[in-house]
Amino acid sequence: MSASLTAKDYTTSQEVRWCPGCGDYAILKTMTRVLADVGAERENTVFISGIGCSSRFPYYVETYGFHTIHGRAPAVATGLKLANPELDIWVVTGDGDGLSIGANHLLHALRRNISLKILLFNNEIYGLTKGQYSPTSRIGTRSPSSPGGSFDAPVSPGLYALGSGARFIARAIDVDRTGLAGVLEAAHGYDGGAFVEIFQNCIVYNEDVFESFAGREHAAERQLHVRHGEPLVFGAGDSKGLRFDTGKMALELIDARERADEVLVHDETNATLAQLLLAMEAPEMPVALGVIYRVEDETFEAAFYDNHPTGFKRTGKVADALRNTNTWTVE
């Protein structure tokens, strides 16, 4: 049993090589703490990554790890999960790795519902290649490859995941230990593929890009921590809430105390609500955090084994299979 392990037991001897102040440190720290808290068996835990700053992650976690190639971590992880479905597999990716070069694999991993816990560190910039704009960069992002400001529209990771058929979508902020730990524990406990977007601050190339809602002074007014079955309220003293404007088919901000009976209650199984929540952007609306969408469904690995004629066990002999056709004997 691994129950007695601490966060330190999940930390390797490798020197961490992220920039000082990088949001990745906070994520790593929370991750190892969560692994200890959930009693993860180190030999049955695997971190798989692609390429980018975030993809250094596996080197620092004392479990099995595989630092693969750009964008392909979900595909490698899929093969591993099929070979050994008992493993707890975490995929660590970024906005470039997961939504640009590897967006295809992300889509397919999510629509299949293979039980990978996919953590997408979104910093809206290419860090490791020194600061070019990424597929999540906002229009106008100035970077070495867009000196006049980027002009292609960004993709929303959460909406992409929902459109891909993800059954579990959650969001957290790198330095929000409580929120992030809650989301990681939920992902770990979920029986299926989990997609977690982590707003991660790149201190060098895109500092404070999430400041409008992640900053300490904005947290209360612009973060909506959703909980299944509870009203969608936020702000000082839960003074603000969301209601569904049926005329506009959109979410509307209302005073949660005056119109308490109109405030929506979070239903994590409602895909339409998830879409509306994921689309909210600061500062006009709060940013939804926590487990936004979660439904139960058959996992791909379960279906793979169930549909395999022998549950992927070797029950036959090649010697017999060779003769499983018309044969003739020459005397």
Partner 1 sequence: MVSGMSAKHQELHEPSVVVRFAGDSGDGVQLMGTQFVSSTALAGSDFATFPDYPAEIRAPAGTTFGVSAYQINLGAGPITTAGDAPQMLVAFNPAALKVSLPLIADGAAIIVNTTSFTRRGLSKAGYDEDPRSDGSLDGYQLIEVDITRLTLETVKPFGLSKSDAGRCKNFWALGLVQWMFGLDLDAIERWINTKFASKESVREANLAALHAGNAYGETAALAAAVPQLDVRKAKFEPGEYRGVRGGEALSLGLAAAGELADRPIVFCSYPITPASPLLHQLARLGKLGVGVFQAEDEIAAVCAAIGASFGGAIGVTSSSGPGIALKTEAIGLAINAELPLLIIDSQRGGPSTGLPTKTEQSDLYQAVYGRNADAPVPVVAARSPSDCFDVAIEAARIALRHMTPVFVMTDGYLANAAEPWLIPDMDTYEPIEVNTLAKKPADDVQTAVFERHPKTFGRPWVSPGMPNLMHRIGGLEKDIHTGHISYEAENHQAMSQLRADKVQSVANFIPEQGVEVGPSEGAVAVVGWGSTYGALYQAVRRVARINDRVSHIHIRHINPFPPNLGELLGGFDRIIVPEMNMGQLATLLRDKLGVETVQFNKVTGQPFLIQEVIDFVLDQLADVTGEESRPRIVHGEPT
Residue 217 CB, nearest approach to partner 1 (Å): 39
Phi-psi group of 61: left, alpha or beta (phi > 0 → left; psi -120 to 50 → alpha; rest → beta): beta
| Distance in angstroms (rounded) separating the CA atoms of residues 159 and 216 | 26
Task: Identify which of residues 62 and 262 has a Cβ nearer to partner 1 in the complex.
Answer: 62
| Distance in angstroms (rounded) separating the CA atoms of residues 175 and 178 | 9
Fill in the DSSP letter of residue 97.
I
Task: Identify which of residues 59 and 244 has a Cβ nearer to partner 1 in the complex.
Answer: 59
Task: Identify which of residues 25 and 59 has a Cβ nearer to partner 1 in the complex.
Answer: 59
Q: Which residues bind partner 1 (CB under 8 A)?
A: 12, 14, 42-46, 48, 51, 58-59, 62-69, 72, 75-84, 86-87, 104-105, 107-108, 304, 308-310, 312-319, 321-323, 325-331
Residue 115 CB, nearest approach to partner 1 (Å): 14
Q: Which amino acid is at 241?
A: G
Identify the burial level of 93 via C-beta atoms within 10 angstroms of its C-beta, where 0-12 means exposed, 13-18 middle and 19 or more buried: buried
Residue 116 CB, nearest approach to partner 1 (Å): 11
Residue 285 CB, nearest approach to partner 1 (Å): 34
Residue 108 CB, nearest approach to partner 1 (Å): 4
The values of phi and psi at residue 137, to 5°, are -65, 140
Task: Identify which of residues 79 and 147 has a Cβ nearer to partner 1 in the complex.
Answer: 79
Task: Identify which of residues 161 and 263 has a Cβ nearer to partner 1 in the complex.
Answer: 161
Measured in whole angstroms, the distance separating CA 163 from the mean position of its chain's CA atoms is 14
Q: Which two tokens stand for residue 211?
A: 């400041």
Fill in the DSSP letter of residue 170.
E
